[in-house]
A and B are shown apart, each in its own frame.
Chain A
Amino acid sequence: MTNQPPARMPLPLPTPTQENDFYWEKCKEHELWLRSCNACNEPYFYPRDMCPECHSRDTTWVQASGRGEVHAYAVVERPPTPAFAGEVPFVTALIKLEEGPILPTRIVGVEPVPDAVSIGMAGQIEFDDASETISLPVFRPN
């Protein structure tokens, strides 16, 4: 044992899989891409090989504008796990993207207090370079 202070616990970053590595590669390039169904022509989230709406397996990828609005949010005061102990308070949100799907994310650039955010608030997705390989989409209100 050394006297060094304990290293900060790593945040639980995603583990790309064969099904979604394209999504995370594009996030690394600071672009948001959605899986879209060729049968019903609707983009959806999260990316998966089968359309959750019509169950077709004929799907493709489309780039999203990154524009959206706050659909729901919470101001997290108690760390959900020890890894988030240094992060609280923070604002999690569900963002309704301009293209329709709901994206779970975090709101940045605002005070982490309930009144600083409102449902319907418009903004833009940007990217947080969380590690060498992972950039997380986050939401910044206009």
Chain B
Amino acid sequence: MTTGSDLSRVAAIIGVDESDEMGHVPHKSSMQHHAEAADNALRDAGLTLDDVDALFCAGVGTVSVAEYLGIVPKYTDTTSIGGSSFLAHVEHAMAAINAGLIDVALITHGEAGRSTRGRVGRDPTAAGSQYEAPYGMIGAPVAYAMACSRYMHMYGPERVRQGMADVSIATRKWALQNPKSFVNHPSWIGPADVGYEDYHDSRWIAWPFHIMDCCLVTDGGGACVVVSADVARNAKKKPAWILGSAEGHDHQIISQMPDLTRTIAHETGPRSMQMAGVTHDDIDLTMIYDSFTYTVLTTLESLGYCGPGEAPDFVANLRTGPGGDFPMNTSGGGLSYAHTGMYGMFLLIEATRQLRGESGDRQVEDCNLSLVHGTGGELSSTATLVLSNS
């Protein structure tokens, strides 16, 4: 491990939290989740809304959220690149802090994803509406399923299927240890503790995806407070220092993806790790956006944890689950903990908790360095952060 770049440790995350109620929350709006999460995360940071000088949101604009919260930010950013947006916001906040423009950035997310399912409008002239939607290529499962079919064709359908099952089951095992997981929620239907057979028997959503290859659809929110080094040094809790960051995107709709088996993580991963001055072996906890089991396989390869086609072996024998030697997605992930629509915020929350030693039964021993990686859209955008507790 080397010292990293001049931008390393310019900023840190000092507050994270979810909204009050997660899972099935039909009585609350997306904006209520934003507000609750903002309040909770600022409390976690030992700050108040009066301390906030920058606001970052995705999907819903900062103008709406700032009005609701009653704040007047002097720096505002609605970068909306899908589920990875909030990780990109961390980089943008760091850059604004480095430029001396702000000291305290609040990133909020709230989405009644379960309770407002299917109500999102589409621009009829957009490329997706013109060329993909007429065929039923609408929403993430179909797009990701097609990409996965290509990967299976290249690397062997049976071993890839086994890798997908390993990711699904290992992640579920973590979720059982997280009291906030949807699989532990009263409205969860069916058994929560499941195994390989349940995976293979689970119903099809869009072949090659069983329902157990697909993330949940839940309600909820989350927020994250990013501050300057000066503010971080006086923080209430141990800061999660930002050592590395990178963001990128190489298409929007799935038919425009340059290579269905590799995401732009192949650029953002190495850039972020180079900035941090770390290698894969230094990482204690890997948090990877698991919109689908396939997303994890292609991302592990794109990030360089293993070579093309090697991810099914890399995750074999529930290696990423509790007790395995490669802890990944310890919250239970988008697959089994929460997935509101833009899940990236929840990666930041779990990574920060793990780096502080606050993750209870699922705490990873000696967790000092975490790689946190978001993917958004139709495998379109990625953002990679390296966080350290020292």
A, B in one complex: yes
A interface residues (Cβ-Cβ under 8 A, vs B): 11-15, 17, 20, 45-46, 71-82, 84, 87, 90, 92-94, 102-106, 114, 119-120, 130, 134, 136
In the complex, which residues of chain B have a beta carbon less than 8 angstroms from the beta carbon of A11?
134
Chain B 241-282 interface mask (CB, 8 Å, partner A; 1/0): 000000000000111100010000000000000000000000
Complex alpha-carbon distance, A121 and B323, angstroms: 43
**Interface: B74 (CB within 8 A):** no
Query: B256 CB to closest chain A CB, in angstroms?
Result: 8
Known contacts A14-B129, A82-B118, A92-B142; A119/B137 CB under 8 A: no
Whether B145 lies near A119 (C-beta < 8 A) is no
Whether A81 lies near B138 (C-beta < 8 A) is yes
Query: A131 CB to closest chain B CB, in angstroms?
Result: 10
**Interface: B124 (CB within 8 A):** yes
**Interface: B187 (CB within 8 A):** no
Whether B131 lies near A77 (C-beta < 8 A) is no
Whether A12 lies near B122 (C-beta < 8 A) is yes
**Interface: B149 (CB within 8 A):** yes
Whether B208 lies near A74 (C-beta < 8 A) is yes
Interface segment out of the listed B3-11, B31-39, B198-206, B302-310: B198-206
Whether B149 lies near A73 (C-beta < 8 A) is yes
Complex alpha-carbon distance, A76 and B71, angstroms: 45
Query: A74 CB to closest chain B CB, in angstroms?
Result: 4
Task: Pull 8 A–B residue pairs with CB atoms less than 8 Å apart, ordered by A.
Answer: A14-B124, A17-B125, A46-B256, A72-B147, A76-B206, A80-B137, A82-B118, A119-B149
In the complex, which residues of chain A have a beta carbon less than 8 angstroms from the beta carbon of B72?
none
Query: A55 CB to closest chain B CB, in angstroms?
Result: 15
In the complex, which residues of chain B have a beta carbon less than 8 angstroms from the beta carbon of A20?
130
B interface residues (Cβ-Cβ under 8 A, vs A): 118, 122, 124-125, 127, 129-139, 141-142, 145-147, 149-150, 153, 203-209, 253-256, 260
Whether A92 lies near B137 (C-beta < 8 A) is yes
In the complex, which residues of chain B have a beta carbon less than 8 angstroms from the beta carbon of A136?
134-135
Q: Which of A71, A77, A102 has its CB near the most chain B CB atoms (within 10 A)?
A: A77
Known contacts A79-B136, A80-B139; 18 additional CB pairs below 8 A are A12-B122, A14-B133, A14-B134, A15-B130, A46-B130, A73-B146, A74-B146, A74-B208, A76-B206, A77-B203, A77-B207, A78-B206, A81-B118, A81-B138, A94-B255, A104-B255, A119-B150, A119-B153
Known contacts A46-B127, A102-B255; A74/B134 CB under 8 A: no
Complex alpha-carbon distance, A72 and B148, angstroms: 8
A87 touches which one: B132, B136, B253, B255 (CB < 8 A)? B136
In the complex, which residues of chain A have a beta carbon less than 8 angstroms from the beta carbon of B141?
78, 80
Query: B350 CB to closest chain A CB, in angstroms?
Result: 29
In the complex, which residues of chain A have a beta carbon less than 8 angstroms from the beta carbon of B255?
45-46, 94, 102-104
In the complex, which residues of chain A have a beta carbon less than 8 angstroms from the beta carbon of B142?
74, 76, 80, 92
Whether B149 lies near A130 (C-beta < 8 A) is no
Q: Which of A20, A87, A104, A106 has its CB near the most chain B CB atoms (within 10 A)?
A: A104
Whether B204 lies near A15 (C-beta < 8 A) is no
Find the A residue at minimum CB distance from B118: A81
Whether B136 lies near A80 (C-beta < 8 A) is yes
In the complex, which residues of chain A have a beta carbon less than 8 angstroms from the beta carbon of B131?
14, 45-46, 104
In the complex, which residues of chain B have a beta carbon less than 8 angstroms from the beta carbon of A120?
153
Complex alpha-carbon distance, A82 and B136, angstroms: 10
In the complex, which residues of chain B have a beta carbon less than 8 angstroms from the beta carbon of A13?
134
Q: Which of A46, A90, A94, A130 has its CB near the most chain B CB atoms (within 10 A)?
A: A94
In the complex, which residues of chain B have a beta carbon less than 8 angstroms from the beta carbon of A78?
141, 204-206
Query: A46 CB to closest chain B CB, in angstroms?
Result: 5
Whether B260 lies near A72 (C-beta < 8 A) is yes
Complex alpha-carbon distance, A74 and B253, angstroms: 15
In the complex, which residues of chain B have a beta carbon less than 8 angstroms from the beta carbon of A74?
142, 145-146, 149, 206-209
Q: Which of B134, B136, B138, B205 has its CB near the most chain A CB atoms (within 10 A)?
A: B136
In the complex, which residues of chain A have a beta carbon less than 8 angstroms from the beta carbon of B254?
94, 104
